[in-house]
Chain A
């Protein structure tokens, strides 16, 4: 009898210990999840601030290059009265979708299509979503860089080259409001503003994930 009581007590203790361990594990899991959310928020915040610095720097560079171009070509050739008021489709478009991202729930996602269709059926330009790591040639790309004798261009390379040529033509067409022969400084300004636009979209995405992570933290 005493042995049965002892066994019962032992089993009760085991159960309570198991419950305590389980509770502890749950608490650890919850804390871990909170830490994860906090880390995600801090990462997003860091990325956001870095991108803000980057866009400020690019915009400064763009405005300076524009001033250089005006100095080189003259104020008559670069001024706001030359901008085209005729109806024309937008050079770039922005798509907003809702995306489920793991623990962050639903987060708005911004995708930029630069040099999108100009009267054509399908977009010709590159899709600059935030997955820039997957771009060929990116420093974070998983693809190896080949050195030495280049191999024959693959079909994908040829498609990329053709797309690049199209984008180059669209860029030149946009600049043609200032004349057919423009200074390289004006082209540099165009590239700076183009990069700033891409960065702005990245900022929007980073801000969305940052706010979502913050909501997760403050929910508790």
Chain B
């Protein structure tokens, strides 16, 4: 009796190390499912075969033996790289939807958080496309399936961020993230970019707090992964804003309020004017010193690959531990990286640049 009372009082939110006692009640099936999916990720041997393909039909033939086979088999020739990406993304979406419909709280909320980043991207795509007088149907076809919501098509009526919020987004999960960017300024390209980054910053901070509340191994592993994401975004924002009209103050406002670089690294990044200054800031932090040591001075071409490799290393480590939700996040991100790899290989094959394939492919296993 005392034993069962002890079990009941232990919740994985409060007692790290005791998740094994209760996790499998609600999460055991889905953890098994996601570990099965993880085993289906492409290996180095698969990538070696793909890198030797002469054309996109060869790639389709090699992928027919993988989990993507059923998604590509009915696609007619000639294939396009965007078709391969779209169909592989459908596989990711199907896996996600299956897990979501089987999940209970709080795992279902955790899985919903994974979608919000894609929702933000879709909102920005629709708003930008409307600003450029594109057809809304054409824009909806390009949206990421994970980021779709019911009222997304009505985004076209908004003229500024206040209307965007009031007319459409107030009833969506993105509503809480709009508090920092509610203005009546008309939407233009730079304002939209600031809106995108402000929303994403608010989303990351909210996700981080949610994971901290969950506690246990989920909190520990997700804090590391989200902190890395926040730091990488800070570096990308800095590099992409060099030479633009974005002021230092505006740049600093786009950095998230957590992560290894917060707050002193952000202070230094905000005033960087070239890639070497960014390098100087990042090399003070040992985890990022290794990333920047792979690049020569003045070069930023390999930075993306270096960051992706570090991210994949951390995501794979998440699977070393059991009874936590971070495996779901890690699986989704690894699949997205795999799709990015396939896109890159397809582009290099289509452009007859096979010697450059290894510039950006990130191997997982």
A binding-site residues for B, Cβ under 8 Å: 60, 63-64, 67-68, 70-72, 74-77, 79, 81-86, 168, 172, 176-177, 179-185
Contact = CB atoms under 8 A, between A and B. Distances in A.
Interface string B230-268: 000000110111011110000000000000000000000
A185 B142 CA distance: 22
Contacts, number: 91
Contacts of B193: 179-181
Contact of B244 (A83, A84, A181): A181
Contact of B142 (A63, A64, A76): A76
A64 B236 CA distance: 20
A64 to B, nearest CB: 6
B249 to A, nearest CB: 15
A82 B129 contact: yes
A67 to B, nearest CB: 4
Interface string B291-305: 000000000110010
Nearest to B129: A81
B219 interface: no
B41 interface: no
Interface string B96-108: 0000000000000
Interface string B141-158: 011100000000000000
29 contacts: A64-B356, A67-B344, A67-B347, A67-B351, A71-B343, A72-B304, A75-B343, A76-B121, A76-B142, A81-B125, A81-B138, A81-B139, A83-B132, A84-B132, A85-B132, A168-B243, A172-B244, A176-B189, A176-B190, A177-B189, A179-B189, A179-B192, A179-B193, A180-B189, A181-B237, A181-B241, A181-B246, A183-B236, A183-B239
Contacts of A180: 189-190, 192-194, 244, 246
Interface in B109-144: 121-122, 125, 128-129, 132-134, 138-139, 142-144
Contacts of B244: 172, 180-181
Contacts of A168: 243
A86 B132 contact: yes
A42 to B, nearest CB: 31
B344 A81 contact: no
B55 interface: no
Contacts of A81: 125, 129, 134, 138-139, 142
B271 to A, nearest CB: 17
B237 to A, nearest CB: 6
Nearest to B82: A75
A171 B264 CA distance: 33
B360 interface: yes
Nearest to B194: A180
Interface residues of B, number: 44
A82 B301 CA distance: 24
B189 A74 contact: no
B263 to A, nearest CB: 21
B93 interface: no
Interface in B178-201: 189-190, 192-194, 196-197
Given A67-B344, A71-B304, A71-B340, A184 B240 contact: yes
Contacts of B133: 84-86
B85 interface: yes
Contact of A71 (B134, B190, B360): B360
B130 to A, nearest CB: 11
Most interface-central of A76, A81, A176, A182 (chain B CB within 10 A): A81
A144 to B, nearest CB: 28
A82 B132 contact: yes
B353 interface: yes
Nearest to B191: A180
Contacts of A64: 351, 353, 356
B239 A184 contact: yes
Contacts of B82: 75, 79
Most interface-central of A72, A168, A183 (chain B CB within 10 A): A72
A195 B28 CA distance: 58
A198 B197 CA distance: 36
Contacts of A74: 121
Contacts of B138: 81
Interface in B268-318: 300-301, 304
B113 to A, nearest CB: 19
B351 A63 contact: yes
In the A-B complex, list the 8 residue pairs whose CB atoms are closest, starting with the nearest: A180-B193, A181-B240, A176-B189, A67-B347, A180-B190, A84-B132, A85-B133, A72-B304
Contacts of A82: 125, 128-129, 132, 134
B142 A79 contact: yes
Contacts of A83: 132, 134
Contact of B125 (A76, A84, A172): A76
Contacts of B132: 82-86, 177
A101 to B, nearest CB: 39
A171 to B, nearest CB: 10
B179 to A, nearest CB: 21
A24 to B, nearest CB: 57
Nearest to B359: A68
Contacts of B241: 181
